[in-house]
């Protein structure tokens, strides 16, 4: 099938799958998997296979980079010990447990470890929907765990594939060296790419060129790390975390506006496309499996899903009580998580995009020319486990959250109010000096002072919860009137274009200005 036809089909499947999911009230990945399986019935689609090594390079860097840019570094530092344990030791234990279960079900050790590596890491984007239901600390730990554990899982995956094709030999020094290279080399590459990125962004004035550098950064980090056999995942994550810290001072507003328009859409499309592709692979694997193999695969899906849940719960509770016994510092006690909150984290161990990418990247043939053993079985079981976690745990999780009765996390709102209040107060304090430095007329300075004081009064009233405060009412009326006037101006400009009194180029320029003003007012309106 031609590339353009495939792109159109995937795009239509992504659109239709998400629309159907909203109408049916079902998790979008489940519908996307089903549509992918239907697409797999088309012979031309089924015969179009992405090279396995390309899957990780095309899909993972963008997803990981955006998650890194939007994750709280402060919360990561505060919960570093737990994140490191969950993203390394838990992944290794999970991969081992799944491999042991797979071997008991008849898989050779090599493919069993490949399966374990594929389903061991949790998915950062799959827990995004929980952000409003869980405290910020818990969401950050879950996201950070899934960012780092990809690197651990991919090292295990590389070892397992190497063992299967006869290129690797397991010895403690060898495995230790591989992990050291993976983490040390990946971190070093991430720092280097972030340094180059910072210097380029500092010099580039054009938003298009600046965001081109931003797009290239994750792919460059991943590729360079993989060339030296380090962890491309960790390189992308480290680069993204560094840029998240320096970007507010370094990157200009117009660059950020353009990036915020691009990246959420790009990550949404990539995530959805992965689920459609795995549906295609699922159907392809299903057609190449005999009835006995299919029965074994369905049994394996159930067994592996149970193993994942049991190992995660055992680790979360076991490690917590061990740390409590060893670390009795007062500050550690303040950071303890309740058993109910830990239960929620146990149910939030979704598998998703990373597992899909790893399963799809399993080579189709060995160096000898023979087919990779049990590849279709691995893809089918991985896909089934993802469906089970998304559907089964996804349906149970809201009830578990209600049972846990977690206290509402208001820290984000409180810190936002603090920042807005402090920024407004210091801006008013600096206004006379700035006006004098710029030679601003007293009339303009006074007009601006009144506007800033009105905004600050509205922020303070919002923080006090005084919904009927005159300052809040003033803010709402002001924004509503400004938005109505913007809509009227837009209608006038469109009418002038329809009357052919102005060109479409002029319309687009004025409309862009009006759109920015409308978004600003709608986003800052105090409710």
Per-residue confidence (pLDDT) for residue 116, from 0 to 100: 94
Which residues are 365's β-sheet partners?
Answer: 371
Per-residue confidence (pLDDT) for residue 225, from 0 to 100: 92
Per-residue confidence (pLDDT) for residue 527, from 0 to 100: 39
| Residues 6 or more apart whose Cβ sits within 8 Å of residue 51 | none
Q: Which of 129-138, 185-194, 477-486, 515-524 has the lowest mean pLDDT?
A: 129-138
Per-residue pLDDT tens digits for 51-106: 656 667 777 888 888 888 887 777 788 778 888 888 889 999 999 999 999 999 98
Provide mean pLDDT across the span 481-495.
91
Mean pLDDT of the chain: 83
The rounded distance, in Å, linking the Cα atoms of 320 and 329 is 14
pLDDT at residue 26 greater than cutoff 60: yes
- List, in order of start, the domains of the chain with CATH numbers: 3-409 (1.20.1530.20), 412-524 (no CATH)
Please give the distance of CA 522 from its chain centroid, rounded to a whole number. Answer: 26
Per-residue confidence (pLDDT) for residue 525, from 0 to 100: 43
Per-residue pLDDT tens digits for 163-207: 777 655 556 676 777 778 888 899 999 999 999 999 999 888 888
Per-residue confidence (pLDDT) for residue 115, from 0 to 100: 94
Provide mean pLDDT across the span 254-265.
83
| Nearest residue to 355 via CA among 143, 117, 162 | 117
The rounded distance, in Å, linking the Cα atoms of 347 and 343 is 6
pLDDT at residue 459 greater than cutoff 80: yes
Specify whether the CB–CB gap between 349 and 307 falls below 8 A: no
């Amino acid at each position: 099938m031609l590339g353009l036809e495939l792109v159109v089909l995937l795009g239509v499947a992504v659109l239709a799958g998400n629309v159907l999911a909203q109408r049916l009230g079902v998790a979008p990945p489940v519908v996307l998997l089903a549509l992918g399986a239907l697409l797999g019935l088309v012979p031309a689609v089924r015969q179009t296979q992405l090279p396995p090594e390309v899957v990780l390079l095309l899909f993972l860097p963008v997803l990981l980079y955006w998650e890194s840019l939007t994750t709280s570094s402060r919360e990561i530092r505060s919960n570093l010990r737990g994140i490191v344990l969950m993203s390394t030791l838990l992944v290794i234990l999970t991969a081992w447990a799944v491999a042991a279960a797979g071997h008991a079900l008849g898989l050779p050790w090599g493919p069993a470890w490949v399966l374990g590596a594929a389903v061991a890491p949790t998915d950062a984007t799959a827990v995004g929907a929980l952000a409003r239901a869980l405290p910020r600390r818990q969401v950050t730990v879950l996201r950070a765990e899934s960012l780092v554990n990809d690197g651990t899982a991919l090292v295990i995956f590389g070892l397992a594939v190497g063992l299967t094709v006869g290129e690797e030999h397991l010895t403690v020094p060898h495995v230790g060296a591989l992990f050291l290279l993976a983490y040390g080399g990946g971190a070093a590459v991430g720092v280097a790419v972030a340094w180059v990125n910072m210097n380029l962004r500092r010099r580039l004035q054009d938003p298009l060129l600046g965001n081109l550098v931003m797009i290239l950064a994750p792919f460059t980090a991943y590729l360079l790390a993989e060339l030296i056999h380090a962890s491309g995942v960790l390189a992308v994550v480290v680069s993204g975390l560094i840029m998240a810290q320096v970007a507010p001072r370094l990157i200009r507003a117009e660059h950020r506006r353009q990036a915020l328009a691009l990246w959420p859409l790009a990550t949404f499309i990539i995530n959805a496309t992965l689920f459609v592709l795995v549906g295609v692979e699922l159907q392809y694997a299903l057609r190449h499996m005999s009835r006995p193999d299919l029965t074994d695969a369905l049994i394996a899906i159930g067994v592996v899903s149970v193993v994942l849940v049991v190992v995660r719960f055992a680790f979360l509770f076991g490690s917590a009580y061990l740390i409590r016994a060893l670390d009795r510092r007062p500050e550690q006690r303040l950071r303890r998580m309740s058993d109910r909150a830990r239960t929620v984290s146990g149910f939030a161990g979704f598998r998703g995009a990373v597992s899909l990418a790893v399963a799809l990247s399993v080579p189709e043939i060995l160096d000898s020319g023979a087919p990779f053993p049990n590849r279709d079985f691995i893809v089918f079981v991985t896909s089934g486990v993802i469906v089970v976690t998304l559907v089964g745990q996804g349906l149970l999780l809201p009830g578990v959250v209600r049972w846990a009765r977690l206290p509402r996390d208001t820290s984000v709102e409180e810190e936002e109010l603090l920042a807005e209040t402090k920024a407004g107060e210091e801006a008013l304090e600096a206004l006379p000096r700035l006006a004098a430095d710029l030679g601003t007329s007293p009339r303009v300075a006074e007009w601006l002072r009144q506007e800033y004081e009105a905004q600050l009064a509205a922020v303070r009233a919002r923080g006090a919860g005084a919904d009927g405060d005159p300052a809040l009412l003033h803010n709402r009326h002001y924004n509503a009137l400004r938005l109505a006037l913007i809509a009227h101006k837009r209608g006038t400009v469109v009418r002038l274009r329809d009357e052919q009194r102005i060109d479409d180029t002029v319309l687009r320029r004025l409309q862009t200005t009006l759109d920015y003003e409308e978004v600003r007012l709608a986003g800052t309106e105090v409710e």
